[in-house]
Chain A
Amino acid sequence: MVIELSVFMENRPGKLEAITRILAESGINIRGISVASEGEFGVIKIIVSEPDRAYGVLRENHFTVSKRKMVMVEIKDKPGGLHDLLVLLSMNRINIEDCYGIALEEGKKAAIILEVGQFPRTEKILRGEGYTVLSDQEPG
């Protein structure tokens, strides 16, 4: 399980940069990022090295931010890697609300961040099939 931080943000130049600067200055590593935008505003979703500290730092800087639990699962960086994972989830009737990928080691490993309804069950199924489920503590 990893903690994803989602930050509400107006869609204007320099807004995203404000977040990355604060995190960089605080020595927090961004492991993954995804942006959902509606036009005028959006939600920035980030996976970071120290989510609790990052949450505190963003709040202090008056960002509207919330924490969400996500499944982060390692897949092989090769054709069909993601497909196999999704087949497994759909066979088990697990619905995916949100999903984005990050590279861990280029050409070797990648990870998929999943937002699912049935949280512990999903992790259990994945582990049962031999997948590596990552957590905040593990280096990425």
Chain B
Amino acid sequence: MYWEKDLETLDRKELERRQLEQINWTIRQARNSSFYSGLKINRIDSLEAIQDLPLTTKEDLRNQFPYGFLAVDRERVIRLHSSSGTTGKPTVVFHTREDIDRWQNLIARSMYAVGVRKNDVFQNIMGYGLFTGGIGFHYGAELLGVMTIPIGPGNSKRQIWFLKHLRTSVVHILPSYALRLYTFFDELNIDPKKDLNLKIALIGAEPHSNEIRKKIEELYGIKAYNSYGLSEMCGPGVAFECTQQAGLHVWEDHFYPEIIDPDSMQVLPEGEEGELVLTTLSREAMPIIRYRTRDLTSLIPGNCPCGRTHRRISRIKGRNDDMLIINGVNIFPIQIERTVMAIPEIGNNYLIEIRKKDYMDKLLLKVEVNEQVFQGTLSELEKLQRKIIVELREELDLTPEVKLVESASLPVSDGKAKRVYDFR
């Protein structure tokens, strides 16, 4: 069940000793870059002292475009990736051959942890290209030795054709696309539970609720595991769920996690929710110290029954900048998702619209009706509409407007799902 038993189950004390050593190595390595060349601290003597090092932000990465963070000779770089952000200057990330090797090893470790083996068939439905999701898993899967189909996203009928005829057992897919893909099975007269050999979905690259995961598991009759990563660290493979499905193990031999209060910047104790801050521990081309991921989560106290000693983070709640303020109430889109996806009469897609009307913020939620449970009466629809409003009011403390829409009528993209439209 372990890809690298010694490293995954390393004694905490020894793991922390190595982390400290690697942080100090990272400080030295980072000094080779123009951005970190002026770093005032040479070394730290304890892990707690990492708090004395300055934080690094997305803005820093942007401002240093293209080579400000590069810490090795350009000739040693064999790959560039760029984040999926679309506003302004892109952020670019460089890898040496050894960086790539370490990254693919972490993907192989993550896939192995949830049961992927050489005899599986792996369909990689994630985007290839500048985005790290597709290529990252591609090389990791090949290292593991599993037959990999580099199909990328989109063309749903072809996806299903491959799923069926190649007896695909593992997919890597955006959770929103997994739900979208499901709507195509009916017209092809294929039952994903009976006619496919699918067992495992690796889902990630967008924050999603546990309810969405459960829905994917139920629709396909499979297990779905949460994958976490960000291109600034490498891409996917930073943290991954084990089969316990009780949080994501941060691969602490390569990344050092902290949780900070995003306002005061103070480090928070285990169990408290805040912004995840990561330091690379082994990256040569582009070491990053205390990177503010903007992702909100917490470190889960206690040991995982799987035996891995690497600490777990809870499911990502969203990004700092995802938070909506509606008539003074703070709301995360994932709260809405959690609520509506737990209602069986609701289909697989939803959309949030916010508008200003008479100086007040109005939240409009559009949800698709689940055709599997539709009984054919008007009264059930009216009842459903009221139910959604009541449950959202309990969760959000405000009364949304709810609109029922036909299944497969809401826009979907093959990339990350855009579900919030703020028209204010």
Contacts and interface: CB of A to CB of B under 8 A. Distances in A.
Interface of A: 4-6, 8-10, 36-38, 40-43, 45, 59-60, 62-68
Enumerate the 3 nearest inter-chain pairs by beta-carbon distance, A residue then B residue, closest first: A6-B376, A66-B376, A64-B371
Contacts of B183: 62
B381 A8 contact: yes
A72 to B, nearest CB: 16
A65 B371 contact: yes
27 contacts: A5-B376, A8-B371, A8-B406, A10-B406, A36-B378, A40-B404, A41-B403, A41-B404, A41-B405, A42-B378, A43-B376, A43-B378, A59-B187, A60-B186, A60-B187, A62-B183, A62-B406, A62-B407, A63-B371, A64-B369, A64-B371, A64-B406, A65-B374, A65-B376, A67-B376, A68-B375, A68-B376
A68 B405 CA distance: 21
Contacts of A5: 376
Contacts of A38: 378, 381-382
Contacts of B371: 8, 59, 63-66
A67 B372 CA distance: 11
B42 interface: no
B408 interface: yes
Given A6-B376, A43-B376, A63 B406 contact: yes
A62 B305 CA distance: 44
Contacts of A43: 376-378, 381
B132 to A, nearest CB: 33
Contacts of B405: 10, 41
A126 B183 CA distance: 42
A40 B187 contact: no
A41 B408 contact: no
Chain B's interface size range is 20 to 34
A67 to B, nearest CB: 7
Contacts of A60: 186-187
Nearest to B375: A66
B46 to A, nearest CB: 59
Contacts of B407: 62-64
Nearest to A97: B377
A45 B369 CA distance: 17
Nearest to B184: A62
B375 A41 contact: no
A62 B376 CA distance: 15
Nearest to A64: B371
A86 B371 CA distance: 33
A6 B374 CA distance: 9
B272 to A, nearest CB: 43
A31 B308 CA distance: 65
Contacts of A4: 376
B373 to A, nearest CB: 9
Interface string B353-390: 00000000000000001110011111001100000000
A36 B374 CA distance: 15
A10 B408 CA distance: 13
Contacts of B406: 8-10, 62-64
